[in-house]
Amino acid sequence: MDNLKTRVISAAVLAPLFIFLIYLGGIPFLFASLLIIGIGSWEFWRMYNKEQSNRSSAVLLIGLSILTGASRYFLDFTIASSVLALCIMIAMLWGNISYERKNQKAADGFAVMTTGIVYFGWIGSYLITLRQSENGFWWVIICLLLVWLSDTGAFFVGSKFGKHQMAPLVSPHKTWEGYFGGVLSTLVIGILLFLIIPPVSKILKFPQMILLALLIGLITPFGDLGESMIKRTFGFKDSSNLIPGHGGIFDRMDTVFWTMVIGYSMYTLINLGLI
């Protein structure tokens, strides 16, 4: 109960601040997003760095992830993808130099660095790209509310009714009951957002909202499981202790990153007239 209280207090402080930065958009939101990307990539490096064979450069991983994220704000999507390719080439150059310095596991470090750059620098930057889109504030807010309340619904349903483990080795406390409770919660919240908040019904038709909520509810829990897999592989309970009651940035953004990809994909398909 004490941990739940701490989680609620942290969320009550940080969520309004984050929403305010989303509202501001522009450079303030960019800085906040790059801070999330930078800290998340450091947490990722920290966990993998526990194994000698995975050793890589924290400075380079963080720097290239931030550079990739910044490119998504200042450049269009196509040119930004070239920046990502350049960052991966720089990581491979580091691998060559590291090997010449007698690091016979440099290839493993290169793989870790590349994965971190892609996951945090590129996938994490969908948060930036979605906010930059038309009606970006509302798109980001809708997606965040859906995933946050999906997580909450899954937690409470799973705590009360959970019996059938979803992934016993990766995350023993997650159950199928909690999973489907989260999906149902997301659908209910999606319907309420559509009915109660006028701007939502202006940018999304009802079937589109249902599809968005369904995709977020069904898919994003696997982002959380993926992060749990990494933590269990290296023996970490949390990615860091940065946020009281919540762990680290990676712990909080694992489902959010996936949500922003889904949100931007929906936004693109709607604007192309495909759904």
Measured CA to CA, the distance from residue 229 to residue 210 in angstroms comes to 30
Could you please report the per-residue DSSP string of the chain?
-HHHHHHHHHHHHHHHHHHHHHHH-HHHHHHHHHHHHHHHHHHHHHHHTTSGGG---HHHHHHHHHHHHHHHHHS-HHHHHHHHHHHHHHHHHHHHHHHHTT-TTHHHHHHHHHHHIIIIIIITTHHHHHHHSTTHHHHHHHHHHHHHHHHHHHHHHHHHH--SEEETTTEEEEEHHHHHHHHHHHHHHHHHHHHH-HHHHHHS-HHHHHHHHHHHHHHTHHHHHHHHHHHHHHT-SSS-SSBTTTB-HHHHHHHHHHHHHHHHHHHHHHHTT--
Share of residues in the chain with pLDDT > 70 (%) = 98
Measured CA to CA, the distance from residue 109 to residue 99 in angstroms comes to 10
Question: What pLDDT, in 10s, does the model give residues 249-264?
Answer: 999 999 999 999 999 9
Domain residue extents for the chain: 1-132, 134-275
Task: Kindly indicate the confidence band of residue 5, based on its pLDDT and cuts at 50, 70 and 90.
Answer: confident
Torsions phi, psi for 243 (to 5 deg): -110, 115
Measured CA to CA, the distance from residue 207 to residue 209 in angstroms comes to 5
* Overall average pLDDT of the 198-207 stretch: 94
Measured CA to CA, the distance from residue 137 to residue 25 in angstroms comes to 8
Could you please report the per-residue DSSP string of 58-71?
HHHHHHHHHHHHHH
Task: Give the pLDDT score at 54.
Answer: 87
- Determine how many CB atoms are found less than 10 A away from the CB of residue 205: 13
Q: How far apart are the first and last CA of the chain?
A: 44
Task: Give the pLDDT score at 55.
Answer: 87
Question: What pLDDT, in 10s, does the model give residues 120-140?
Answer: 999 999 999 999 999 999 999
Non-local CB neighbours of 1 within 8 Å, separated by 6+ positions? none
* Overall average pLDDT of the 155-178 stretch: 91
Measured CA to CA, the distance from residue 240 to residue 143 in angstroms comes to 25
Task: Give the pLDDT score at 90.
Answer: 97
Task: Kindly indicate the confidence band of residue 2, based on its pLDDT and cuts at 50, 70 and 90.
Answer: low
Task: Give the pLDDT score at 247.
Answer: 85
